[in-house]
Amino acid sequence: MKKKLSLMFIAFGALAVLSGCEPLTIFDPKGPNAKTLSDTIILSIITMAFILLVVYTLLAFMLTKYRASKTPTDYEPPHEEGSHLLEIIWTVIPIIIVAFLAVVTVRSTSTVEAQPAGYDNKEPLVIYASSSNWKWHFSYPEQGIETVNYVNIPTDRPIEFKLYSFGPITSFWIPQLAGQKYAMSDMLTTIHLAADEVGSFMGRNSNFSGRGFAEMEFEAQTMTQKDFDKWASDVKTKEKPLTKEKFDELLKAEHVGRSSYSSTHLEFSPAPMEHSEHMKMGNMDHSEMNHGEHSDSQENSEATHSH
């Protein structure tokens, strides 16, 4: 009786907690890349639910068919040889399941890592998104403006966020528009997305980065291209330029509100190189080092030979 009451208490407690949760916005995508990720997650959940259904059905069948019965105390069950067919089946089925999920995941990842489908002929809007302490800086090189803790983007146009950090590793994530990707201090990473609808969507840092992590959120507002151009023009003409002194002040602050500037910090604090360029430079440095070592060894060898 006490065990039943405990289980009921746990069940009601779980329902009470879950009833206060926010809606899972990842299942309400507003862009093509976000929809690809949402569909992949739903397919994975359905696959796992089907597996559980089969397993629990077989469990109920086995418990019913082979349950203990009233038999004589001297009863000895007959010897049963193992079934090679069954052993092959329960080995092959997990391999098929893992292979299926792996193919789906790889294809989905490849899709979201590229420019969204249907936007191949449109020039992407490039926005540099950088994090510092527990805030976000958004630089628009094309418009020559910058915002803090909010970002506006046009609909029906591909967006490329170039991510990096002025501090610890963070993770840029707008659940209804795209998946998450890490922002690091020494290289750029790129996340592609597009918005199909006008609206306001919350973005956040999904990687723990200190005591202010929970408040590290920003608003991503999508609008028509006409409204976006008007907003960018207003910021360019009405807001003050971002100076190096002001930017250094922003970097040192832990939490700040929203703000806009008529210039970007990229003019005096350029972004790090792309990840691919970083890897190329690393390989070049390694090659030059090996070439230098080879030259030194060759010179030493020649000197020894001359001696």
pLDDT reported for residue 291: 53
pLDDT reported for residue 142: 97
Tokens of 58: 């077989």
Is 0.85 surpassed by the pTM of this model? no
pLDDT reported for residue 42: 96
What's the Rg (C-alpha) of the chain?
A: 29
| pLDDT less than 50: residues of the chain | 4-5, 12, 15-21, 297, 299, 301-307
34-92: per-residue pLDDT in tens? 999 999 999 999 999 999 999 999 999 989 887 877 777 777 777 877 888 989 999 99
Please say whether the dihedral angle defined by the alpha carbons of residues 11, 14, 16 and 18, taken in this order, is positive or negative: negative
pLDDT reported for residue 140: 98
Q: Which residues pair with 138 in a beta bridge?
A: 129, 147
Strands 217-223 and 135-140: unpaired
pLDDT reported for residue 289: 52
pLDDT reported for residue 216: 94
Domains in the chain (CATH in brackets) are 125-267 (2.60.40.420)
Of 240, 216, 224, which Cα lies nearest the Cα of 152?
A: 224
pLDDT reported for residue 9: 53
CB proximity list for 163: less than 8 A, separation 6 or greater:
129, 130, 172, 181, 182, 183, 184, 188, 189, 190, 191
169-184: per-residue pLDDT in tens? 999 999 999 999 999 9
Q: What are phi and psi of 274, to 5 degrees?
A: -60, 155
Of 195, 181, 176, which Cα lies nearest the Cα of 119?
A: 195
**Residue 58, CA distances (Å) to 50, 62, 92, 98, 140 in order:** 12, 6, 17, 20, 58
pLDDT reported for residue 185: 92
Measure the CA–CA gap between 305 and 150, rounded to whole angstroms: 68
pLDDT reported for residue 38: 96
